[in-house]
Amino acid sequence: MVIMFICKSRARVLAVALGVTMLLSTTACFDEEAPKDKPQVVAAIYPLAFVAERVAGSYADVTTLVPPGVEPHEYELTAAQIASLSTADIVIYQLGISPALDAAIEQNPPKSLVETGSLVALLPADPEEEPGWGEGTDNPSNPLDGGFDPHTWLNPSNMSIFATVFADKLVAADPIHKQEIGGAAETLQRELSQLSQEFRTGLTTCERREFVTSHAAFAYLAIAYDLKQIAIAGISPEDEPSPAQLAEVATLASQAGITTVFYESLVSPEYANMLATELGLKTDVLDPLESITDESLGADYLAVMRSNLEALKAANGCR
């Protein structure tokens, strides 16, 4: 019975089944790396899992809800994934990226939650509206009545804020590793800051600031580096453009002297191709990092963002 109270179930089963000595069972109990001892982290989408994994290192198990290669805006969670929201030690997610996930989190409140949209100034879904702050912050200035843009991770500075808040939550769950977790967060933040500097330098002198994308995912990146996004579809790639919207994008693209229409791998390039053909332009990939696969142009967030930077520099004639 003593063993039952001290040990995790696997050691208990072993001790009962094999009749091993108390000493052996006790040794198993104090194995620091036993998976069950680690905080369990659930991340909604790849870029948030990237933050969690980099900050946690070996001190947490991180699971990503939206599988690789799956477009998150229309993603429906499995029953097991919904259950994992309330058993996880920490859930990190972005409100508004998937309505099914928003509903699941409301119905299964996690023990500890990092809602990344509440940590930064949100951009409106409608670019004509003024930016505002996320729900739950003290800034009452703007609730963004017309809806907001959930693609907050595409500004590396926002990722740095997520790392700070996630590290605090993880330290609360695992205070013994405060120093290691804090150190990993700082290392990641240095790398994000370096990435941001590369964007600023690389995009300083360009022939134009406008770029055309298939879905309106890049407003946070655009505002951070003084670019202007012209999007064919809306905030969700499922928002198909009307003929009038397509005509407007074509006019804006011509006026701006656009050379390239960007598309992304998870969404059909139908409208990007249509526009490029009509205007005689090139197409290229600009990755909103909603997922990562073997086909992604880089192994992680930092590498894919650098591919995005190179694509933007080439399309916009940056020196």
289 binds Zn ion (CB under 5 A): no
Q: Which two tokens stand for residue 231?
A: 């999007």
How many CA atoms within 13 Å lie on the side-chain side of 238? Answer: 7
Q: Which is nearer to Zn ion, 39 or 237 (CB)?
A: 237
Residue 188 or 233: the one with the smaller Cβ distance to Zn ion is: 233
Stretch in the footprint of Zn ion (CB under 5 A) among 13-21, 193-201, 215-223, 276-284: 215-223
- Residue placing its CB nearer to Zn ion in the complex, 173 or 267: 267
CB of 264 to Zn ion, least distance (A): 9
Q: Is residue 217 a contact residue for Zn ion (CB under 5 A)?
A: yes
Do 65 and 44 touch, CB atoms closer than 8 A?
Answer: yes
59 vs 218 by CB, closer to Zn ion: 218
Candidate segments 49-57, 209-217, 255-263, 272-280, binder of Zn ion by CB under 5 A? 209-217
x/- map, 160-199, Zn ion, by CB under 5 A: ----------------------------------------
148-149 β-sheet, strand order = 132-133, 121-124, 148-149
Nearer to Zn ion, 59 or 93 (CB): 93
Identify which of 214, 203, 277 has the alpha carbon closest to the alpha carbon of residue 245.
214
Q: Which of these segments, 59-67, 77-85, 214-222, 259-267, binds Zn ion (CB under 5 A)? A: 214-222
Q: For residue 265, give the nearest of 285, 282, 281 by alpha carbon.
A: 285
Distance CA 75, CA 71 (A): 7
- For 55-89, letters b (16+ CB in 10 Å) and e give bbeebbbbebbbeeeebbbebebeeebbebbeebb
Instruction: By CB under 5 A, tell whether 49 contacts Zn ion.
Output: no
Between CA 257 and CA 250 the distance in angstroms is 11
Count of residues that bind Zn ion according to CB under 5 A: 1
| Residue number, 39 or 234, with CB nearest to Zn ion | 234
Can you read off the two tokens belonging to residue 205? 């002198």
Please say which residue, 3 or 223, places its beta carbon nearer to Zn ion. Answer: 223
Residue 206 is given by DSSP the state B
What are 242's two structure tokens? Answer: 């009307």
Handedness of CA 275, 279, 284, 285 (dihedral sign): negative
Minimum Å gap between C-beta 290 and Zn ion is: 5
Piece in contact with Zn ion (CB under 5 A), picked from 87-95, 163-171, 211-219, 311-319: 211-219
Question: What is the smallest separation between the CB atom of 215 and Zn ion, expressed in angstroms?
Answer: 6
Piece in contact with Zn ion (CB under 5 A), picked from 11-19, 20-28, 186-194, 210-218: 210-218
Contact 26, 47 (CB under 8 A): no
Q: How far is the CB of 288 from Zn ion (least distance, A)?
A: 5
User: What are 247's strand-pairing partners?
Assistant: none
Q: Considering the complex, what minimum distance in angstroms separates the CB of residue 116 from Zn ion?
A: 14
Q: Select the span of 44-52, 182-190, 212-220, 266-274 touching Zn ion (CB under 5 A).
A: 212-220
Question: Which residues make up the interface to Zn ion (CB under 5 A)?
Answer: 217
